[in-house]
Structure 1
């Protein structure tokens, strides 16, 4: 009679749904491959060793219910997060079971057992209506089963699944051994991938493990380019092969069905089923094995593609090193397994690599980076990790190093090795590097924290001029926390009305008259109090708030001058505001200034715009049009920190400026330094030649005042006359001309 899957499968579906099972299978004892099934453990997410354990449990429970001898008996078992329920199923020479699999979320109920027993009886009735083939199943069902097994295989569970499928094939065909072999073009050999069952005693060397293509054994020589199935039986004259098998397994004579794994025009390997002694292989069996071999080829292609994608996801394309993702996952795994594992994380960055790219081109630069990566790999031990994050940034994990001294010595050796000249594209290139490092120890840290701390240490190393090693410590930790706090709070500081303007008065040194005030931003931090600009302005620039803050300062300065004009008979004549190059080249800056002048009723000459000399010189072409537009409005323009930006006379002549503010570095020791006096004298003469006014910054003692007057510089600001003042105090200064407020 014939078991009809079309009749039994709906019954299994109804049974599985009624018992909330993930699968329902009819199996023969000693098999393992379902003859008819509904649902799938693999579809439910069971794979790899867990799936192998489940198959063994199913095979075991099937054997137990059959051994019991009475249909209707129900057995239970449990495996890898699932529970089994099975009942015997026998008719004539068929012995098997109906088996259910479901999760552990609730126990089997009495109703589940009753339904299973009824389903077993119905299956027996279906079997009684037809004939059961001698092998208790159809070959097409075998192919379908293998396809379902291989469908969801990934790189991680490939080996486990391959071995399990070989076992199912061996049991189905009654073979004593199943083998899978791949051709290796580089080794020019046939490689044993797996075998079932695995031999308990394998000779060393294994004559079956790696067999060269140029062997004297005609069978192994043939399978290199095998295109059609090959059947071998005792007495076929293949003595060399039979001797090789006997040497590897101890079996004197075998029968074998071998089918090639073919991909296009290439034979990738073979699938072989071996029977100890003689066996006849039918054409139907060989056709089924060919179909299964093609499934293995598809598996190889899919897993190879997966491995390639995995490699791309975890490796840097240029250098082949691990990328950030792989590095962080590795470090996270190490710390999860042992939070106090001794290790050091090094963050390395090349010094001045941009010059190489600019002068020699990016192709040379890329080649240089590849060679640096190789040197880094050679500079550490095999079990250490080197990864490339981006550009010329690399990170290294030194395992087993728990002291700062040892980590710094290793880092210094790495820097010395990297700095050695490299021959790249006919050029000898030498570049130093900087390293920031952090040592993991008693205090557990995450991978991200270690990487961030090493990055902070690297920035410190860069600030020291490069070619240096800096270890993250409590001082840098405090600096990091302060910076993080600043960044977090700065994003809302303007909208939360935490910014303040202070004003540094500027005086005529001849009579003490207030000539202008310079607007200086302060931050009323909710916890740290009033902060000067130098403590947070770099963070403002890094988080792209400079334009927003700059426009707030400009508008607030105009508003305050308007208030002074409406409340005082002697308001400051001019308010000066420092503007960055980024603000100057922003969209319609001139229009914004014109709007503010109109909004607050200010004369253009009452507003002064200051820009540093260094910024003007770097961005001369970009800011020229804006400066001309501001001059067109009538706004006064000043070059701040003059003397430090190395401007030429030709450049100065191009700029529509009114004032040169002499940098404080030339003023602070003016009375004692003949060099500073000479520089200030030269600036004053230069200003006179261009009909410009000079203002000295940073005046801190009366001797400087005397010297400035002698040199012809009549305007100045500094702590000697007045510190920066809140708006309400500036009016007191305006009411008392000739009596400068002195710093207490």
Structure 2
């Protein structure tokens, strides 16, 4: 009420009081007082109607009347006004209580109706139990979930529904709920349905207390998560198992291996057998991938049945690779027995679609008996060891060797660094003289590539050329060496035009098979200006003897351009002499063992007639004679002594190279070597 409205109300009430006090005697119940008590009662009631119900409002009103009135009328007036005030206040309070009760009842009835509707129509199972476990109510969803009628469940104990798959002490956790330590509890629990099947539920228990805080009821809400759990289990199985064979996959294998490698006292060592099928690609290519898949399933089943039965983990790593984890490996012999058993299982023929398929396997065996390592490092070591078994002949197992593994890791490291090394110019070319034996004059040089590492180490071609051939870098490396060698030769010819040198460069079989090799070599000759007839390309005997088809056509095209072709390391392979005469070859380079011998100080060539090893000298003489018949020149490698030089010249060898003459030198030192040879001058007139 605003202030003006309040003043207006009070003025009106004051006027009523004055009027009531001036009423004639006998006009109302206040006979002999001259007061209209009914009117004063209405004034008290109007104070209540105006919401002036604070105790101070009545107190100040009565104090005012007591001060303003005198005589016996004061008590009567105040009593009448107070009575009206109290009567109005009591009526108002009773009305408010009635409205509250009515609203509460309506709300309770509505709430109960809503609860009943929700309880009965809920999609999840709900039951209300007494705190002692007696089931008081169940809804339709719970009955449908368990296959019972409500009468079958009500009055039974909630805690009596045990299941063999319950976790130990499952119901002990409810003590915290019933004591009020927690207000709800969530857990997974299986229940038997009435038909004996099992349903897995997500169970939430909630405690309901009365206004005084006393525990009264437990509400249990259950959701059927059986299908959800089955889906989770299927997804988990798919995530950790191979879909083709059903074996554990890489993920699960590494989880088990990580766990096995955890240090637990001085327990048994851990063993790994890495198995790869031999020739599996041929099965896929000839019989089809369906047969290949069936073969993989059969091998997986055998390994799992026989070795998994012994407690070993058999997993498929991918493709035709399997791995066997021996988590308790007392010694290497036990691990070898597992590998041998695996090989026997794989060797057994498999009949697929009326076809009998037989394959073998190669197995790498690694036993880890202590020390820090990781699952990835141990598996990598086993994988590397498996390839040793393949390179040693297949159908066998190989034991891990730390020194050999370090060499492999070193080679892998070199292979990874090689592309950047080529870009940074770490590969340098040096030149070893080709000396005519008749007068010991330099007629040419052989280009030899070296790898100078940033740390100052220097690697020879025997260390990195096989790696380059394997990873394919031999192609750009070979072109780089050939280009640098031709440029160097052009520079020497400009300074010594009267003595042009033959430039001999090694050519790997991988380079010969590279598309466009002829165009590339012709382009290098054109760019550098070097003459084709002064370029000699060397191929090893094993590479050249296998030349057929397109490779042979490449060699013939190069020879037609004027380029000389030489067979390097002749005598280390198995040459078909009848085939040799049809190759576009100009020179045979005798392999070093022919020249250096094995035991004699000056080699086999310096052995006296009649010695047991003289037969090798005779073979060498026959090879030289064969070259003469075929019209080929002969170069002897690895000439190290004067005795070897003399005997080679006596046999008719044309050219020699080796440490007796000079080691390889940088391009800047070649002309000095040509002008002033560092080896002894030949006897007799020049």
**Fold conserved (TM > 0.5)?**
yes
Match of residue 699, structure 1, among 619, 623, 639: 639
Compared with structure 1, are the counterparts of its residues 179 and 128 closer, same or farther at alpha carbon in structure 2 (3 Å cutoff)?
closer
**Alpha-carbon spacing, 1:698–1:390, altered in 2? closer, same or farther (3 Å):** farther
Between 1:490-499 and 1:312-321, the stretch displaced more is 312-321
Write the distance in 1 (CA, Å) between the matches of 2:498 and 2:420. 36
Q: Where does residue 97 of structure 2 map in the other structure?
A: none
Aligned match of 1:593 in 498, 521, 531? Answer: 521
- In structure 2, the CA distance between the partners of 1:545 and 1:420, relative to structure 1 (3 Å rule), is closer
Q: 1:459 and 1:519, CA in 2 relative to 1: closer, same or farther beyond 3 A?
A: same
Contact 1:733 1:740 in 2 (8 A): no
Task: Pick from 483, 490, 501 the counterpart of residue 429 of structure 2.
Answer: 501
1:12-31 residue pairs with structure 2 within 5 A?
none
Report if the CA contact (8 A) 2:431-2:664 is conserved. yes
CA distance in 2, matches of 1:370, 1:723: 59
Contact 1:522–1:530 at 8 Å: present in 2 too?
yes
Evaluate the alpha carbon distance shift between residue 407 and residue 576 of structure 1 in structure 2; reply closer, same or farther with a 3 A threshold.
same
In structure 1, the partner of 2:463 is 535
Partner of 1:348: 275
TM-score, normalising length: structure 2 = 0.62
Corresponding residue number in structure 2 for 1:611: 539
1:388-399 to 2 correspondence within 5 Å? Answer: 388-399=316-327
State the partner residue of 2:630: 690
Matched with 2:248 is 322
Q: Aligned with 1:699: secondary structure?
A: coil
Residues 687-734 of structure 1: CA deviation (Å, up to 9, x unaligned) = 333322222223344444344334332222223333333323333321
Distance 2:291 2:415 in 1: 38
Q: Encode CA deviations 1:324-381: one digit per residue, 9 max, x unaligned.
A: 3432343234446869873111222345666777888877666555444444331455
Alpha-carbon distance in structure 2 between the residues aligned to 1:701 and 1:372: 60
SS at match of 1:506: strand
CA 1:399–1:736 in 2, change beyond 3 Å: closer, same or farther? same
1:661 is aligned to 589
**What secondary structure sits across from 2:424 in the alignment?**
coil
| Alignment check: 8 A CA contact 1:581 1:619 kept | no
2:146 match? 179
> Secondary structure at the residue paired with 2:248?
coil
Is 1:553 matched with 2:520?
Answer: no
Aligned equivalents of 1:443, 1:386: Cα separation in 2:
24
User: Do the aligned residues in 1 keep the contact of 2:199 with 2:224 (CA within 8 Å)?
Assistant: no
**Cα distance in 1 for residues equivalent to 2:491 and 2:521:** 18
In structure 2, relative to structure 1, the CA distance for the partners of 1:197 and 1:177 (3 Å cut) is: farther
Structure 1 residues 270 and 461, CA, compared in 2 at 3 Å: closer, same or farther?
closer
Deviations 1:541-576 (A, max 9, x none): 343322221221111212222232334467661111
Alpha-carbon distance in 1 for matches of 2:576, 2:678: 37
Please state if 1:518 is matched with 2:446.
yes
Distance 1:623 1:487 in 2: 26
Contact 2:483 2:528 in 1 (8 A): no
In structure 2, runs of 5+ residues without a counterpart are 1-99, 126-134, 149-157, 166-190, 202-221, 598-603, 608-612
Tell me which residue corresponds to 1:200.
162
| CA distance 1:405–1:460, change in 2 (3 Å) | same
1:93 Cα offset (Å) = 14
Partner of 1:422: 349
Query: Could you tell me which residue of structure 1 aligns to residue 667 of structure 2?
Result: 727
- 1:398 deviation in Å? 0.2
Distance 1:587 1:92, change over 3 A: farther
Partner in structure 2 of residue 652 of structure 1: 580
CA distance 1:647–1:473, change in 2 (3 Å): closer
Question: 2: distance between equivalents of 1:443 and 1:271?
Answer: 45
Q: Does the residue aligned with 2:417 lie in a helix, a strand or coil?
A: helix
Map 1:7-406 to 2 at 5 A: 132-133=112-113, 135-138=115-118, 142-143=122-123, 172-173=139-140, 178-179=145-146, 199-200=161-162, 300=227, 314-316=240-242, 319-335=245-261, 342-351=269-278, 369-377=296-304, 378-379=306-307, 381-401=309-329, 403-406=331-334
Q: Which of 574, 595, 602 is matched with 2:502 structurally? A: 574
Partners in 2 of 1:380 and 1:740 — Cα distance?
73
| Bigger mean CA deviation after superposition, 322-331 or 599-608 | 322-331
Closer/same/farther in 2, CA of residues 134 and 452 from structure 1, 3 Å limit = same
Aligned mates of 1:126, 1:693 — CA distance in 2? 121
Query: 3-state SS of the aligned residue for 2:407?
Result: helix
C-alpha separation in 1, matches of 2:480 and 2:552: 23
* Residue pair 1:564, 1:571 contacting (<8 A) in 2 also: no
Separation of aligned partners in 2, 1:683 and 1:621: 27
CA–CA distance in 1 between the matches of 2:105 and 2:377?
A: 67
Query: 1:504: Cα distance to partner?
Result: 2.4
Measure how far apart 1:666 and its partner are.
3.3
CA distance in 1, matches of 2:454, 2:295: 49
What is the root-mean-square deviation in Å for CA atoms of aligned residues? 4.7
Instruction: Please give the per-residue CA displacement for 1:584-608, whole angstroms capped at 9, x wherever unaligned.
Output: 2334222222222222221112222
Instruction: Report the secondary structure of 2:423's partner residue.
Output: coil
Q: SS where residue 518 of structure 2 aligns?
A: helix
Moved more, 724-733 or 126-135: 126-135
Q: How many residues align?
A: 508
Q: Which runs of 5+ in 1 are unaligned?
A: 1-90, 95-123, 147-167, 182-195, 204-247, 250-255, 259-267, 273-292
Contact 1:437 1:471 in 2 (8 A): yes
Larger Rg: 2
- Please identify which structure carries the higher helix content: 2
Distance of aligned partners of 1:92 and 1:390 in 2 relative to their CA distance in 1, 3 Å threshold: farther
In structure 1, what is the Cα distance between the partners aligned to 2:616 and 2:286? 38
CA offsets 1:378-403 (integer angstroms, 9 cap, x no match): 14554211123345432111011254
Partner of 1:165: none
TM-score after normalising by structure 1: 0.58
Q: Residue in 1 aligned with 2:404?
A: 476
- In the other structure, the counterpart of 1:28 is none
Tell me if the contact between 1:667 and 1:676 (Cα under 8 Å) persists in the aligned partners. no
